Amino acid sequence: MNKVWPTADAAVEDIPDGATIMFGGFGLCGIPENLIDALVRKGVRHLHTISNNMGVDGFGMGRMLEADMIDSHTGSYVGENKLLEERVLAGKLDLRLIPQGTLAERIRAGGAGIPAFYTPAGVGTVVAEGKESREFDGKMYLLERGLRADFALIKAWKGDRMGNLIYRKTARNFNPMMAAAGRITIAEVEQLVEPGEIEPDQVMTPGIYVQRMILGEHEKRIERRTVRTA
């Protein structure tokens, strides 16, 4: 089955207002920037987003903020986006911060069909407010729910037309677990190959988790460049 779509715009065309969407990436590493740009062009609104962070001003998910597309965000780090801070303080965006390891496990659990799990992270802090707790072997744990999404937009280094994916180095980050946790997973790849060109034991996300793919142009950005004089 050929899962490749002609353009990013076509791949996201049916994403409706109010959808819950996961976005792969860590910082600007491994983000689906072409799919994000297509969403901005589409102008979809009132989204509920799930990602480790929110990009930076003017790039990645930061563009979605500028277009006023997001009503709520679930993530673990938001320190690189001033506009997000302004919207949260003004009460225009509902922000839910989660410890990074807990966020990763909630997504993995959602993709694995596990409704909830216990973790020690957040016990005795504001993270524990309103959550069930339980003691195991003399230590307290919080009950956390698995996370699912209507759509998962992810980025891979290489993929074949059947949707089998390989990630490269730290771009692997949240992408594989989100691929499993999205009802519809859309992957953009830097290299597109034919079925059989990827060795089976190299596949990191099997094609069964991917419904759509695009071949995207890619830009290697970093969040913050620091230099010093000689």
Query: How many structural domains is the chain composed of?
Result: 1
By the 8 A CB rule, do 121 and 142 touch?
yes
Average pLDDT over residues 117-131: 94
Question: How much is the mean pLDDT over the chain?
Answer: 93
Whether the pLDDT of residue 66 is over 70: the answer is yes
Question: Is 3 within a domain?
Answer: no
Give the pLDDT mean for 119-131. 94
Q: Is residue 158 part of a domain?
A: yes
Q: What is the pLDDT of residue 82?
A: 84
The arithmetic mean of pLDDT across residues 53-76, rounded, is 92
- From residue 141, alpha-carbon distances to 6, 105, 211 in Å are 47, 14, 36
DSSP β-ladder status, 182-193 and 149-160: parallel
> How far is C-alpha 50 from the geometric centre of its chain's CA atoms?
6
**Mean pLDDT throughout 90-111?**
95
Q: Is residue 130 part of a domain?
A: no
* 127 assigned to some structural domain: no
230 has pLDDT over 70: no
Q: What is the pLDDT of residue 27?
A: 85
What is the per-residue DSSP string for 107-162? HHHHHHT--EEEE-TTTTSGGGTT--EEEETTEEEEEEE---EEEEEEEEEEEETT
Q: How confident is the model at residue 220 (pLDDT cuts 50, 70, 90)?
A: low
- pLDDT (0 to 100) of residue 67: 94
What is the share, in percent, of the chain residues with pLDDT greater than 90?
82
Within-domain flag for 101: yes
Banded model confidence at residue 218, pLDDT cuts 50, 70, 90? low
- What is the rounded average pLDDT of the residues 97-112? 96
- CATH code of the domain in which 200 resides: 3.40.1080.10
| 138 in any annotated domain | no
- Identify the three-state secondary structure at position 105: helix
Distance CA 116, CA 123 (A): 16
**pLDDT value for 90:** 92
The mean pLDDT of 21-41, rounded to a whole number, is 95
Is 47 contained in some domain?
A: yes
| Distant-in-sequence, close-in-space partners of 210: CB < 8 Å, separation ≥ 6 | 3, 159, 163, 164, 165, 179, 185, 186, 187
Give the contacts of 211 (CB within 8 A, at least 6 positions apart). Answer: 3, 163, 184, 185, 186
Average pLDDT over residues 204-221: 88
What's the mean pLDDT in 167-179?
95
User: Could you report the per-residue pLDDT of 146-170, keeping only the tens digit for each?
Assistant: 999 999 999 999 999 999 999 999 9
What pLDDT score was predicted for residue 223?
58
pLDDT at 130: 93
Q: Domain residues for 100?
A: 8-114+146-215
pLDDT reported for residue 58: 85
Residues ≥6 apart with Cβ < 8 Å to 184: 150, 151, 152, 211, 212
- The rounded distance, in Å, linking the Cα atoms of 156 and 128 is 35
Tell me, yes or no, whether 191 lies in a domain: yes
In the predicted model, is pLDDT for residue 228 greater than 80?
no
